[in-house]
Amino acid sequence: MLIISTYKIILAHRITWYIKVSRVCELTNRRKSFGNKVSHSNRKTKRTFLLNLHSVTLMSNILNKKFKFRVAARTLRTIDYKGGLDAFLLNTKTIKLSEKAQKIKRRLKKVLARQEVKLATSDA
């Protein structure tokens, strides 16, 4: 009985000190995916495909602010292709973005709406 309780204490101690960071892209909310490793003889064994995550700081030109993210390399290539963080967020469907990215997208839209109102009032 004593050994079991000691084991639980040791296990609980390990859990409190070991914080596992999930491998999730903070912009697209992509997670690890599952598939098969296929051999030459066409045998299939289960495997996981992990994300290639990088900690990056991306600049928003419209908000004039820097944001820190843990982003997949695939997402970084997409951001470059779209023309920066602002263009990526504005041209991507809201459903495909994470909660953090959706908040930034809402802020971008508010700032753009204010700029359009200022332009409309100054022209009239």
The amino acid at 44: K
Collapsed DSSP state (helix, strand, coil) of residue 67: strand
In the Cβ-directed half-sphere of 19, how many Cα atoms lie within 13 Å? 1
Which residues constitute the domain of residue 79?
2-123
pLDDT tens string for the chain (124 positions)?
445 545 555 555 555 555 567 889 999 999 999 999 999 999 999 999 999 999 999 999 999 999 999 999 999 999 999 999 999 999 999 999 999 999 999 999 999 999 999 888 887 6
Residue-level pLDDT at 94: 95
pTM of the complete model: 0.76
Please work out, in degrees rounded to the nearest 5, the angle formed at the alpha carbon of residue 10 by the alpha carbons of 6 and 11: 115
Domain count, the chain: 1
- d(C-alpha 94, C-alpha 103), whole Å: 10
**pLDDT value, residue 21:** 75
Residue 28: which CATH number? 2.30.170.40
